[in-house]
């Protein structure tokens, strides 16, 4: 590598990897570098050298089969060639450059937090401050997201109006990366065959509210929005029931398009709190889950239960549960996971199970007095409303976030916290063709 000193203290690093780094001005003014402007790409995958091979398979598939102009770069090269206080700042500066120079629309962070570091946003939820791991840091490219201290007050300059759609593959090993890529390619290749199948999965949210505390009401609002599109979709409902004063678990009478499914044929005929057999047998495309969770449990399944999946056709999950996508492995009640992997990550990186999860990296934000509205629930409604025609998954999620952000006060409060903590674990370019629903 050759160093060339330029006027004003700038340095141009000409690297053999093809990156051309031009830093204009003094070190205090450095913003980002410049990539070769002759290239144009839509999709950027960032990983490390150890996981390069699996993600190269995905890149080749996108380029050769989908006609999606894709490029892959490693953190090793970015760390050497880009400025920034730490690796995450260097990666963000690289994404800025790729967005400006190549017109990048989608970014996949190919690695868990040990590979692609988490950024923590200073958040305030219901009067309680918290640090929220959010990949919006890599999507909202304006500002520096730094904390401004004014006396005792802290205000973080964040950008919730994202320029690019970001997803994360929370993988640590070649096996996990290959599982992720295999499921992603299978969904991209064959997903239309089962995209009409939707499962609404509801739990009791606030027991002391009785029936008003069930998720049914909120999910039925989502159901109505889905049914406005087309009568041809196949929507299944699996909801908690109230038995006397007790919560009876998921109802054994699964509803399918408003009608009962015979007990011997529906997914939940044998185990009240397990729907795995249903996923295996009925090939759901989208599972919308409104229930409780933590870093070890999602949809009433513990990390170890992921091994129960044998579905060959992977599905998407949108979960409103607390910590369902805590990709840093932290739970405020339980601390750090031993392997830093939450239940949602297990679901994505296993051989079977889900191809993508949209979920919360911290606790869902709502009210214990009524559960039909609130920041976390309103984001789910917005997601369903924005499922329009042939869109990619990252675009649907970002449209939902933008709709909520544009209609709410811009401050570090419940709404910004809810937007920041809602992350996509999965490929943002997944074809999410709702026009067939």
Q: What pLDDT digit, counting tens, does each position of 130-188 carry?
A: 788 999 999 999 877 876 555 444 556 677 889 999 999 999 999 999 999 999 999 99
Domain ranges for the chain = 2-104, 190-436
User: DSSP character for 111?
Assistant: S
The number of beta carbons lying within 10 Å of the beta carbon of residue 140 is: 21
Name which of 363, 362, 401 is nearest 380 in CA terms.
401
Name which of 252, 250, 249 is nearest 263 in CA terms.
252
Has domain 190-436 been given CATH number 3.30.70.380?
A: no
Q: Which residue has the higher pLDDT, 22 or 359?
A: 359
Residue 39 zone, left/alpha/beta (φ > 0; ψ -120 to 50; rest): beta
Q: Which of 39-43, 250-254, 375-379, 430-434 has the lowest mean pLDDT?
A: 250-254
pLDDT band at 126 (very low <50, low <70, confident <90, very high): low
The number of beta carbons lying within 10 Å of the beta carbon of residue 410 is: 12
Q: Provide, rounded to the nearest whole percent, the portion of the chain with pLDDT above 70.
A: 73
Where helices occur in 248-301 by DSSP H, the ranges are 276-282
What is the gyration radius of the CA atoms in the chain, in angstroms?
22
Helices (H) and strands (E) in the chain, counts: 10, 26
Q: Which of 95-109, 140-154, 252-266 has the lowest mean pLDDT?
A: 252-266
| Res. 84: pLDDT tops 70 | yes
pLDDT band at 91 (very low <50, low <70, confident <90, very high): very high
CA distance 170 to 180: 9
pLDDT of residue 247: 54
Q: Provide, rounded to the nearest whole percent, the portion of the chain with pLDDT above 90.
A: 41
pLDDT of residue 5: 25
pLDDT band at 18 (very low <50, low <70, confident <90, very high): very low
Q: Which residue has the higher pLDDT, 257 or 433?
A: 433
Q: Which of 15-19, 184-188, 370-374 has the lowest mean pLDDT?
A: 15-19
pLDDT of residue 58: 97
Q: Which residue has the higher pLDDT, 10 or 33?
A: 33
pLDDT of residue 60: 97
The number of beta carbons lying within 10 Å of the beta carbon of residue 130 is: 16
pLDDT band at 64 (very low <50, low <70, confident <90, very high): very high
| Res. 27: pLDDT tops 70 | no
| Res. 229: pLDDT tops 80 | no
CA distance 343 to 387: 26
Which positions ≥6 away from 80 have C-beta within 8 Å? 15
| Res. 207: pLDDT tops 50 | yes
pLDDT of residue 408: 76
User: Average pLDDT, stretch 331-354?
Assistant: 83
Q: Which residue has the higher pLDDT, 403 or 434?
A: 403
Which positions ≥6 away from 136 have C-beta within 8 Å? 121, 158, 159, 160, 162, 166, 419, 420, 423
pLDDT of residue 249: 61
CA distance 405 to 359: 17
Mean pLDDT of the chain: 78
| Res. 412: pLDDT tops 60 | no
SS3 of residue 112 by DSSP: coil
């Amino acid at each position: 590598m050759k160093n060339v000193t330029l006027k004003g203290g700038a340095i141009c690093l000409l690297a053999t990897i093809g990156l051309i780094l031009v830093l204009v001005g003094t070190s205090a003014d450095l913003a980002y570098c410049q990539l070769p402007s002759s290239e144009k790409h839509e999709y950027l995958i960032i990983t490390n050298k150890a996981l390069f091979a699996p993600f190269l398979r995905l890149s080749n598939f996108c380029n050769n089969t989908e006609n999606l102009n894709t490029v892959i770069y490693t953190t090793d090269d970015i760390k050497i060639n880009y400025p920034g206080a730490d690796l995450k700042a260097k990666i963000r500066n690289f994404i800025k450059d790729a967005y400006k120079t190549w017109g990048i629309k989608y970014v996949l962070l190919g690695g868990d937090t040990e590979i692609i570091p988490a950024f923590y946003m200073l958040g305030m939820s219901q009067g309680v401050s918290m640090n929220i791991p959010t990949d919006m840091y890599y999507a909202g490219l304006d500002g520096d997201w730094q904390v401004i201290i004014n006396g005792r007050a802290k205000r973080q300059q964040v950008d919730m109006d994202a320029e690019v759609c970001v997803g994360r593959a929370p993988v640590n090993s070649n096996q996990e990366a290959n599982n992720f890529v295999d499921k992603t390619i299978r969904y991209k290749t064959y997903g239309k065959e089962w995209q009409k199948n939707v499962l609404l999965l509801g739990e009791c949210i606030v027991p002391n509210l009785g029936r008003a505390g069930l998720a049914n009401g909120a999910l039925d609002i989502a159901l109505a929005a889905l049914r406005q599109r087309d009568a041809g979709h196949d929507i299944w409902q699996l909801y908690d029931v109230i038995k006397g004063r007790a919560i009876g678990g998921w109802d054994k009478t699964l509803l399918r398009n408003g009608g009962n499914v015979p007990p011997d044929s529906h997914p939940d005929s044998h185990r009240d709190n397990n729907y795995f057999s249903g996923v295996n047998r009925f090939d759901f495309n989208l599972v919308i889950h409104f229930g409780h969770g933590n870093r070890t449990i999602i949809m009433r399944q513990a990390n170890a239960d992921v091994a129960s999946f044998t579905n060959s056709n992977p599905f998407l999950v949108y979960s409103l549960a607390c910590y369902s996508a805590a990709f840093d492995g932290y739970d405020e009640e339980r601390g750090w996971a031993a392997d830093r992997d939450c239940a949602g990550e297990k679901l994505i990186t296993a051989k079977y199970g889900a191809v993508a999860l949209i979920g919360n990296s911290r606790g869902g934000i709502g009210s214990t007095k009524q559960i039909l509205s609130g920041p976390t629930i309103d984001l789910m409604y917005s997601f369903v409303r924005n499922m329009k025609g042939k869109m990619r998954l990252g675009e649907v999620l970002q449209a939902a976030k933008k709709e909520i952000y544009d209609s709410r006060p811009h401050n570090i409060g419940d709404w910004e916290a809810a937007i920041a903590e809602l992350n996509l674990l999965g490929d943002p370019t997944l074809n999410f063709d709702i026009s067939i629903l």
